[in-house]
Structure 1
């Protein structure tokens, strides 16, 4: 039994009929089972337009539970025949998404067999999907190894708030029983700087106006029919602002395109088959009929959403994160023990020391303190030491890596404050700043070094478009996602490594936060002398020239 429904956008019950493809009482008509590739025309349906807001939708329609049961039983082996084409289409969407977000955690709502997720995983994304079809979920999990795909609707997946960097809703919103509610749930699980892609047939397109009810976008399985205007309105009502709008070009084999022609004109189909040789039938062809709209949106930043935008993400995971402290050491025997003693043991799970061919007892003391020690048998440089630190930390399964210099110049007691923004999902990297709250001069930093630090940081901010107070602190925390995404091993083996890794982080659109820290300059602490400092500064300028 079909049921009457209200407009999903404004709640109005008044409508006018757009298309009606049946005779008699539609409430007595039994709708056919759904498959993705089903393109039969003339099936009984009634499409209406809301008298208040103009949203077009199917009315009446089957009850929600009946629709869910139908989707759950859906199996469509013909869908797999166009796998190569569907993957190319997915790649084009990912190219657009990565113009906004390079990598991160991606959710595909209505992911079908998971081709888009599989392509995203190849690019370094951590992928999740929700899909109702048991057949499609089994294929995604068993054939593609996509264990993040679940058979459920989005609301019942219970993802944490501010969890995803990107969400894809491709050829799916038109199938949803509650598209506005789903968009609101997407807003909840999307990070404040996340991006969403919505892709759907455009009923206001020229093709739709010409073909009317026989347009390929009109199907029994489609519950909603969007125009560019109504889609923009629904996204705005759900708290999104559109950043980019484009038409989507479909990619399919000639064989597939011919099958679409057959739906409209059998004689034309036979002529095309005659003209095209058999060996060309599998040739992939991209066609843009301008009847599929694709939009990319971000969260609106309005007062009513302020609490949500500031809400902590990763709350579910933060207590389970493995934190590894790494100590890049060179001749640190006099200060190592006190540095390690001040590291809060309840804040870190492991401590790794990498020794860069020290000439003192650094290695012996480190082993006596029970640290995991790795030794360079010749001096490779500060940057090379960091490379080993990060590599060994990642190999140990670190979720967060915090770097502490073992010369006791930085206060290890500040580690919990360094970790907090990453654990809450507010940052991907955190730098301890000696320049905030006057900490540098109070800690004894030489005036020439203080002034040079300010000047170089100003130049770096101008180059990279940032507002950091310091680029040159050695007290830093990185999420594993950052270290896995950037190729830090290509950087310099010297001190310039610190600037190069910041450039990499910014170019990958990761977020950096700073926390104020104390610094301590004393005779036993290692420090860069004047002329090595000049060489370091020139190296920074050389690096900046590459990005101007």
Structure 2
């Protein structure tokens, strides 16, 4: 499958992936073991994995776009051509990264279940998504974005499927070239109960209301 027409990844795109991987490793260093197994879900050409590999990590990625997968394979990266909903779940991964890919996927609950099965007992999951609010303001609404994400929506997904969020931030953990992103890092835990999920939903509604109310009133009320 080719998701982006007939174009292959450009070198500049791949090098930016590598730089973002370097930023990401530095940003997460306090949470990470010295080395381990990394799975990059929806990895594109896989450049984000290279800084981890240089530090002794065993790295694997997957992506449904053949051109990007082949580009990464030519460099020597281990990338499987598959959709995230169909990926193998080995159960021995220490860190899974979903970096700007979850908004493109068909079945996020299936993906979260497979990620949970793939992680080791104390494994970590990092999700980066185009942030609802900031993303819309900057015009990042494209035909292949099936959803926008917020810290709350990612936290809910994690808690529903068995992660405890450790970090929720809109700080640029991957560096300055991907603005308008939200990052959530979670560790394997038991799924949250309904009371906890409802509390998270209520907090999320309050944040959305406070974010949009002023902007909406500015549009509809005369100055």
Question: Same fold by TM-score, threshold 0.5 exceeded?
Answer: yes
Measured at CA, do residues 99 and 174 of structure 1 come closer, stay the same or move farther in structure 2, by a change above 3 Å?
Answer: same
> Per-residue displacement from partner, 1:283-333 (whole Å, max 9, x unpaired)?
xxx3685x21011101123699xxxxxxxxxxxxxxxxxxxxxxxxxxxxx
**How far apart in 2 are the matches of 1:174 and 1:231?**
11
Partner in structure 1 of residue 42 of structure 2: 110
**How far apart in 2 are the matches of 1:125 and 1:216?**
36
Q: Which residues of structure 2 form unaligned runs of 5+?
A: 194-223
Partner in structure 2 of residue 90 of structure 1: 21
Instruction: Give the number of the structure with larger relative contact order, counting CA–CA contacts within 8 Å between residues 6 or more apart.
Output: 2
What's the secondary structure of 1:128's corresponding residue? strand
**How far apart in 2 are the matches of 1:243 and 1:226?**
18
Partner in structure 2 of residue 158 of structure 1: 88
- Larger-Rg structure: 1
**How far apart in 1 are the matches of 2:26 and 2:80?**
25
Output aligned runs, 1:241-256, within 5 Å.
241-249=164-172, 251=175
| Contact kept in structure 2, 1:75 and 1:133, CA below 8 Å | no
What's the secondary structure of 1:225's corresponding residue? coil
Partner in structure 2 of residue 222 of structure 1: 145
Q: Give 1:245 shift.
A: 1.5
Partner in structure 2 of residue 235 of structure 1: 158
Measured at CA, do residues 287 and 130 of structure 1 come closer, stay the same or move farther in structure 2, by a change above 3 Å?
Answer: closer
Q: Give 1:81 shift.
A: 2.1
Q: Which residues of structure 1 form unaligned runs of 5+?
A: 1-68, 252-285, 305-548
Q: Give 1:120 shift.
A: 1.5
> Per-residue displacement from partner, 1:409-453 (whole Å, max 9, x unpaired)?
xxxxxxxxxxxxxxxxxxxxxxxxxxxxxxxxxxxxxxxxxxxxx
Measured at CA, do residues 79 and 235 of structure 1 come closer, stay the same or move farther in structure 2, by a change above 3 Å?
Answer: farther
**How far apart in 2 are the matches of 1:303 and 1:88?**
35
| Contact kept in structure 1, 2:87 and 2:114, CA below 8 Å | no
**How far apart in 2 are the matches of 1:70 and 1:140?**
15
Output aligned runs, 1:19-168, within 5 Å.
69-71=1-3, 74-77=5-8, 79-101=10-32, 102-142=34-74, 144-146=75-77, 148-160=78-90, 162-168=91-97
What's the secondary structure of 2:30's corresponding residue? coil
Partner in structure 2 of residue 200 of structure 1: 129
| Contact kept in structure 1, 2:170 and 2:181, CA below 8 Å | yes
* Count of aligned pairs between the two proteins: 191
**How far apart in 2 are the matches of 1:75 and 1:98?**
37
**How far apart in 1 are the matches of 2:71 and 2:128?**
23
| Contact kept in structure 2, 1:248 and 1:288, CA below 8 Å | no
Measured at CA, do residues 201 and 79 of structure 1 come closer, stay the same or move farther in structure 2, by a change above 3 Å?
Answer: farther
Q: Give 1:155 shift.
A: 4.2
**How far apart in 1 are the matches of 2:157 and 2:79?**
27
Measured at CA, do residues 288 and 127 of structure 1 come closer, stay the same or move farther in structure 2, by a change above 3 Å?
Answer: closer
**How far apart in 1 are the matches of 2:49 and 2:87?**
17
TM-score normalised per structure 1: 0.33
What's the secondary structure of 2:190's corresponding residue? coil
Output aligned runs, 1:363-512, within 5 Å.
none
Measured at CA, do residues 237 and 159 of structure 1 come closer, stay the same or move farther in structure 2, by a change above 3 Å?
Answer: closer
TM-score normalised per structure 2: 0.76
Calculate the aligned-residue CA RMSD, in Å. Answer: 2.4
Measured at CA, do residues 191 and 133 of structure 1 come closer, stay the same or move farther in structure 2, by a change above 3 Å?
Answer: same
| Contact kept in structure 1, 2:158 and 2:164, CA below 8 Å | yes
